[in-house]
Every structure is written in structure tokens, then in C-alpha cells.
Amino acid sequence: MKDSKFLTIDEALKKGGNVSLRGWVYRERKSNKFVFIVLRDESNIIQCVISKEKNPEFFEDAEKLTIESSIKISGTVRKDERAPTGYEVSPVSDLEIVQIAEPFPITAEQSRELLYDNRHLWLRSRKLNAVLKVRHTVVGAIHEFFRSRGYYEFDAPLFQPSMSEGGSTLFEVKYFDNDKVYLSQSWQLYAEAGIFSLGRIYNMGPTFRAEKSKSSRHLAEFWMAEMEAAWMQLDEVTEVAKDEIRFIIKQVLKNNRKELEFLERDISLLELYEKAEYPTIKYAEALEILNTKYNMDVRWGKDLRTQEEAKIADHFKVPVVVTHYPVEIMGFYKPPALPDNPEEALCFDMLAPEGGLEIIGGSERSLLVDDMIQRLEADGEDPLQYDWYFDLRRYGSVPHSGYGLGVERVIQWICGLENIKDAIPFPRTMTRKKP
């Protein structure tokens, strides 16, 4: 098989006829006369039939094959209704065993935790293979979305001297001998410096939050895709966010139908989200809907809880942008809606339907140095740490806005995953840091 040109299984299905494949044993079944191998590679699976009568030279070797053994195999692709994907390689003309795998630790009935312990092996599962292909599309779509609209990619440090999203979720890192820094909670504060040079910028990078929660929607290390734009205000930035989500869904529908079908995702819903207009409502209107339509009792001044976000999202059945949350529960940089509604912040979240996941958070940025100093002090922060940030308000200040999109949240929603841990190759949470 030395000189063979190897095809992926998908390429072989397209071409038909005689093919050479290489991959791993996904399943195997033996009878007296046959060894049935389901071969797996990055593209698909296909059954290969090795026959005692026709393949005497390697039939005995084939009998030794175990799950995840690596092999090269040649033969003829044929339609066969009984095979798992409707096609099989039969007859097989050649088999080369690359390695006989040791007994694979993952079998059909596995606890979730064992799957996470064996994440390095579980990545081979068809489920994660499908999710990772969707992830590839989502990440590519985000770059394409911003680059095609004239945004520059701009990088910020991951070691940062202070918080941006609240001190309670900071990861502290020893910095040389006697100093400390924090892992980035957001690219934003540095992006606010970048826009004075580049105008409109974006980034996608690792983000760290010491979330002391075991929820199915929080990671300690996740990827955030953020944008920041000079001169942009709340009404405009929320429309950019809606366009970005529609574009991501469009690209996933274009490239990943097979994966979505494998994941049993309701594709008609994604087709709806690709085309739909997404409503924008104020926090106050969200409360009214919750309290009048759903008999809940949510008071002004509280952040929306998961179940409340879920109700709002289900109410609209498409992604919904909620703006003007109470200033008192918002980050120091989210400005009050002056002059008429100082208790409301010029900020927004986007909630995804089918569960109410917060997939995006953003805002206009405060230009009021004194107000920010007060709010930082109220949170126990040292405003001196932010003096460079306040410079951005001292030297040619302009209105500006931005937002951050949780990449794994978007993947979780698009793929219909129960847990966000399956949206990233190696999840990190309060209780999981290995492998």
C-alpha cells in the first residue's frame, strides 16, 4: 500500500470504485467468515468487510483488531443499505495494520466525568468531531465578519494589572519575584485605547474568569470575540451584534449541515434565526413581560436570573437584545443614560432563544471620569490603577461602544449542547483542569 493515494472517507464516497483509506477502528464485529470494521477518519465512518475466503493473507491479523487500532485499507466502495452509512468497502483488497490499540478506556456506557477524564481520547468521538467542525466555522465567520467590514484585528495583554469585570472573578498570577497580575477578563479596556488609532477593531482570544459556579454555561477559561468602535453609540452597536450573529448562523448553515444533522439540531430554527429581525427591548419592558405575561415578580434593580432570561428568550423565539439595565448592577464603565434616565445604563445583552443564554454583552463606554472613579471606589478598587484609562477621556474623547461575544456560548446554542464544556476541546471549570 506504499504507493497508494489515500482519500478521506468522504472523498472516497464521492469518487466510488477502488480506494485506499486510512484511519481508526470505530467499531468491529467478527463472525466465522467475516471481520466487519467500521473505519473512522476526520470526515466520516464507513464499514469495511474482510472475508476469510477472499482475504486469507490478512484475515487472521484482522481478527486481532481492537477499537481505535490504526489501519490502512484498500478496496471497492459499494452501496449497501445494511451498512451504517449506506456504503461499504467490499471486497477489501489490502489491509495494513499500523498499530493494534490497547483496550480503549471509553466504552458505550460511560459516566460523564469519565468522558471528561479521557477528554484527550473522547475528542475522537463523532459528537466532538461534529462540534469542533462547527467551532471552526464560527471562529472563521467572526474573523470574516469584522475583516470584511473594515475592522482591524488588535491584540491586548492577557496579563493585566487590574480588573475590568469585577474583582470577584479575577485569577491572580505571580509576576516575577514580588508582584502579581491578573489574567484577562476582557480585552475591552485596552481596545478603548486602540480605537483612537485604528477606529474600529476586533479580537478573539482567551478570557479568564474564576467563576465559582457549576452551571452548564460558565467556563473558567473561554474565548471571547470582542469589538470596539469609535463614534459608535448604543443603537448602532446593537445592530452590529445582530448582524454578526446572523452571519455566523449563515456560515454554519452553509458549511455544517452534516454536523448539525448528526447533533440532531433542529435546522429549521437556525434557518429562522439566520433571516429573522431580532427585537430590542429595554430591561424595564422585560420586567413588564415577566411580571404581566408570566406572573413573575421581578423588581427593578435586580439582574435577570437564568430562568428569567429563559422566559424572555422564549417569549420572542429569536435572539433578543435587552438594553438599559440598572446602572447600580452594571460595571463601572457602563454610562448612565443622561440626562433623563440616570438610573439606566447604556448597555445591552443579547439572549439566545431555547434557553435564554446570554451570548453577548456590551455597552457604550462612560466618558465621565468622576462617575467612574466613584463607582470603582464603591467596588473597593483603586482608581489610580485606571489613570491610563482615564487619559482616553482627557485626550480627544469621543463616544464609543463595543461588546463581547462568548464563543462557546454561541457554539453551545447553535449546536444545542446541554453543557458548555462540550463547546471547547479541553474545558476548564472550577472542578476541571485536567487533562
Residue numbers of the site for Mg ion (CB under 5 A)? Answer: 361
Residue 403 found at the interface with ligand 4AD (CB under 6 A): yes
Q: Could you say which of Mg ion, ligand 4AD, none residue 403 binds, taking C-beta under 5 to 8 angstroms by partner kind?
A: ligand 4AD
Q: Would you say the C-alpha torsion 221, 223, 229, 233 has a positive or negative sign? A: negative
Nearer to ligand 4AD, 84 or 355 (CB): 355
C-alpha 379: how far from chain center: 31
Rounded to a whole number of angstroms, the minimum distance from the CB of residue 398 to ligand 4AD is: 17
Nearer to Mg ion, 16 or 167 (CB): 167
What cell was used for 380?
Answer: 473597593
The secondary structure of 214-276 as a DSSP string is: --TT--SEEEEEEEEEET--HHHHHHHHHHHHHHHHHHHHHH-HHHHHHTT--HHHHHHHHHP
Distance between CA atoms of residues 74 and 94, nearest Å: 5
Give, for 19, the enclosing helix (H) or strand (E): strand 17-30
Rounded to a whole number of angstroms, the minimum distance from the CB of residue 75 to ligand 4AD is: 45
Stretch near ligand 4AD under the rule CB under 6 A, chosen from 255-263, 285-293, 383-391, 398-406: 398-406
Measure Cα distances from 371 to 146, 324, 334 in Å: 32, 17, 10
Nearer to Mg ion, 336 or 361 (CB): 361
Amino acid in the structure at residue 257: R
Size of the site for ligand 4AD (CB under 6 A): 22
Residue 409 found at the interface with ligand 4AD (CB under 6 A): yes
Nearer to ligand 4AD, 49 or 224 (CB): 224
Distance between CA atoms of residues 271 and 289, nearest Å: 26
Residue 408 found at the interface with ligand 4AD (CB under 6 A): yes
Nearer to ligand 4AD, 75 or 194 (CB): 194
Pairing type for strands 200-208 and 152-153 reads: parallel
Nearer to ligand 4AD, 10 or 211 (CB): 211
Rounded to a whole number of angstroms, the minimum distance from the CB of residue 323 to Mg ion is: 13
Residue 209 found at the interface with ligand 4AD (CB under 6 A): yes
Distance between CA atoms of residues 400 and 107, nearest Å: 53
Place of cell 449546536: 415
Nearer to ligand 4AD, 75 or 362 (CB): 362
Residue 334 found at the interface with ligand 4AD (CB under 6 A): no
Rounded to a whole number of angstroms, the minimum distance from the CB of residue 435 to Mg ion is: 30
Nearer to ligand 4AD, 209 or 265 (CB): 209
Rounded to a whole number of angstroms, the minimum distance from the CB of residue 166 to ligand 4AD is: 8
Residue 402 found at the interface with ligand 4AD (CB under 6 A): yes
Nearer to Mg ion, 273 or 325 (CB): 325
Rounded to a whole number of angstroms, the minimum distance from the CB of residue 220 to Mg ion is: 16
Q: Could you say which of ligand 4AD, Mg ion, none residue 89 binds, taking C-beta under 5 to 8 angstroms by partner kind?
A: none
Q: Tell me the angle at which helices 387-394 and 369-378 cross, rounded to the nearest 10 degrees.
A: 160
Q: Would you say the C-alpha torsion 361, 364, 365, 371 has a positive or negative sign? A: negative
Stretch near ligand 4AD under the rule CB under 6 A, chosen from 18-26, 36-44, 357-365, 391-399: 357-365
Nearer to ligand 4AD, 122 or 413 (CB): 413
C-alpha 50: how far from chain center: 41
Residue 139 found at the interface with ligand 4AD (CB under 6 A): no
Tell me if 153 sits within 8 A of 201, measured CB to CB.
Answer: yes
Stretch near ligand 4AD under the rule CB under 6 A, chosen from 136-144, 243-251, 369-377, 406-414: 406-414
Q: How many CB atoms lie within 10 A of CB 408?
A: 24
> By three-state DSSP, how is residue 307 classified?
helix
Output phi, psi for 37, to 5 deg. -110, 130
Pairing type for strands 87-99 and 45-51 reads: parallel
Cβ contacts of residue 294 below 8 Å, gap of 6+? 311, 315
Q: Which residue is nearest to Mg ion (CB)?
A: 361
Which of 55, 74, 184, 188 binds ligand 4AD (CB under 6 A)? It is 188
> Under rule CB under 6 A, which residues in 217-236 are in contact with ligand 4AD?
218-219, 222, 224, 226
Place of cell 485506499: 20
Q: Could you say which of ligand 4AD, Mg ion, none residue 365 binds, taking C-beta under 5 to 8 angstroms by partner kind?
A: none
Which of 335, 362, 383, 427 binds ligand 4AD (CB under 6 A)? It is 362
Which of 138, 406, 421, 422 binds ligand 4AD (CB under 6 A)? It is 406
Closest CA to 281 of 244, 240, 324: 324
Give, for 316, the enclosing helix (H) or strand (E): helix 306-316
Distance between CA atoms of residues 313 and 389, nearest Å: 35
Which positions touch ligand 4AD (CB under 6 A)?
164-165, 186, 188, 209, 211, 218-219, 222, 224, 226, 358-362, 402-404, 406, 408-409
